[in-house]
Chains A and B, each alone.
Chain A
């Protein structure tokens, strides 16, 4: 406590202390990791020292392997997610606005949503092979459900007063959808994207691990098979960066698009 009062004049020491408190455990674990690895207290294969992993990460990045595989993974995940987003929003909004569409899709969504979509990977390998196309379609099918369900539910919950008010002022049906319903449902729709995004990565990784064809998942599994554990850890570090990056990116888009909320 007295530290904070001392530091009134200069930079804010109390914040630094808070920051230190929030990361000290990570520092301890990382240092322990390095020491355990250096003294081989745990076999190298299970836990290589942190420095080796970082060196391997830099090597893979410089040789372009990491970037290329990360690109493959991101390409598959994001193209699939984009397709699912377009279709999911269309089906979701139409379901909420149209009885016939709702009647048709409601039982399909009820049955389709709980299917552990990962279990269909062997089916997609059979139907579309093991290339990019197969992975992209798989991601699109898997991420369609959360997008559609969130779009439907949030459109249904749009306040009827808003719709009535706009109609009273003579807004046409198409304008009503674009200017009133969609903006009001947007927060829920974006929540759907936020649920679907990690799912797209999950599907891509597992597909790459099962079927190969490059990508970070394949890089990891290849590391396991060739007993290069540092490569596995390095790939997981890349996965972590991608996960954090996409998560932040979506949050940023959300706050940009929803600045009025």
Chain B
């Protein structure tokens, strides 16, 4: 069916082709939304599954009144700080461990011990130390994002093309200059891959921390909307945070392609 239709699409005039293909590709999602609209109120009670029309009007309401923005900004702030810290420390740690044996000996055991722990299991510990709020969320985002960044930076710094290093050494580069003029630039693509893996993890960690230990942020808004029975608002906030996560991932991929023009 797909094949037959795409052949038919190719017979259309060029400017229409792209649009036709996009529409065709997204029909299944449209079917689901229509089913959802029909099911709500008929098969399932409207209170349990608010129809898409109600949810989308609630999204518009949240955006227009600006009610959601204060929470959204707090959530984004937590992600930005947590992810930023994990990138900074992760890159230092990854490259440090790859280029220096004592550094590796010191940190390796901690990384391999914490690697299999799902980081959200540490939320209660973070509450213990930092209480309920922004610091806890930042700590969890930081911990959850750290490992992908470290692992990718470490592997990349280990695999830096030895010819590059020799060539630079021959021209008199050494020590620290070697690190940030040769090794670091060579690892940037891999670091980007690590960050790409970390971005979705950051959102999962953020929402977890906000559901369990927060009185602000989108996760908190979702939980309280559910608790007070305002289900359209709960669904609206879920759609908003999902859209933000989607845009963040796509935006980062776009940015990476711009930055990594030389690869």
Contact = CB atoms under 8 A, between A and B. Distances in A.
A91 B223 CA distance: 31
**Which of under 10, 10 to 19, 20 to 34, or 35 or more describes the interface residues of A?**
35 or more
B105 A107 contact: no
Interface string A96-122: 000110111111100100111111111
A261 B237 CA distance: 46
Contacts of A127: 48
A121 B225 CA distance: 12
Contacts of B125: 220, 232-233, 236
A76 to B, nearest CB: 13
Interface string B196-234: 000010011011100110000011001101110001001
**Which of under 10, 10 to 19, 20 to 34, or 35 or more describes the interface residues of B?**
35 or more
Contact of A123 (B119, B122, B206, B234): B234
- Please classify the interface of chain B as helix (H, G, I), strand (E, B), loop, or mixed, using the class held by over half of its residues: helix
A25 B204 contact: no
Given A22-B109, A108-B29, A116 B116 contact: no
A107 B116 contact: no
A68 to B, nearest CB: 17
A22 B108 contact: yes
A119 B219 contact: yes
A144 interface: no
A126 interface: yes
Interface in B112-144: 113-125, 127-129
A115 B225 CA distance: 19
Interface stretch (A54-62, A80-88, A156-164, A198-206): A198-206
A90 interface: no
Given A46-B129, A122-B223, A221-B124, A114 B249 contact: yes
A45 B125 CA distance: 11
B241 A206 contact: no
Nearest to B212: A209
B122 to A, nearest CB: 7
A114 B246 contact: yes
Contact of A114 (B120, B234, B245): B245
B207 A205 contact: no
B236 to A, nearest CB: 12
A46 B114 CA distance: 19
Interface in B1-23: 1-3
B107 interface: yes
Nearest to A124: B226
A3 interface: no
Given A25-B105, A103-B28, A116 B245 contact: yes
A247 B25 CA distance: 38
- Please classify the interface of chain A as helix (H, G, I), strand (E, B), loop, or mixed, using the class held by over half of its residues: helix
Nearest to B202: A116
B114 to A, nearest CB: 8
A45 B241 contact: no
A205 B109 contact: no
Interface in B176-197: none
Nearest to A107: B29
Nearest to A115: B242
A202 B1 contact: no
Contacts of A223: 124
A240 interface: yes
A125 interface: yes
B238 interface: yes
A26 interface: yes
Contact of B116 (A100, A117, A125, A246): A246
A221 B1 contact: no
A246 B118 CA distance: 12
21 contacts: A22-B105, A25-B107, A46-B128, A100-B2, A107-B28, A115-B238, A115-B242, A115-B246, A116-B203, A119-B211, A119-B242, A122-B226, A126-B231, A201-B121, A205-B118, A209-B212, A221-B124, A223-B124, A236-B124, A240-B113, A247-B115
Interface of B: 1-3, 25-26, 28-29, 32, 48, 105-110, 113-125, 127-129, 200, 203-204, 206-208, 211-212, 218-219, 222-223, 225-227, 231, 234-235, 237-238, 241-242, 245-246, 249
Interface of A: 21-26, 29, 45-46, 99-100, 102-108, 111, 114-123, 125-127, 198, 201-202, 205-206, 209-210, 216-217, 220-221, 223-224, 229, 232-233, 235-236, 239-240, 243-244, 246-247
Nearest 5 pairs of A and B residues by beta carbon = A243-B116, A122-B226, A99-B2, A220-B124, A116-B203
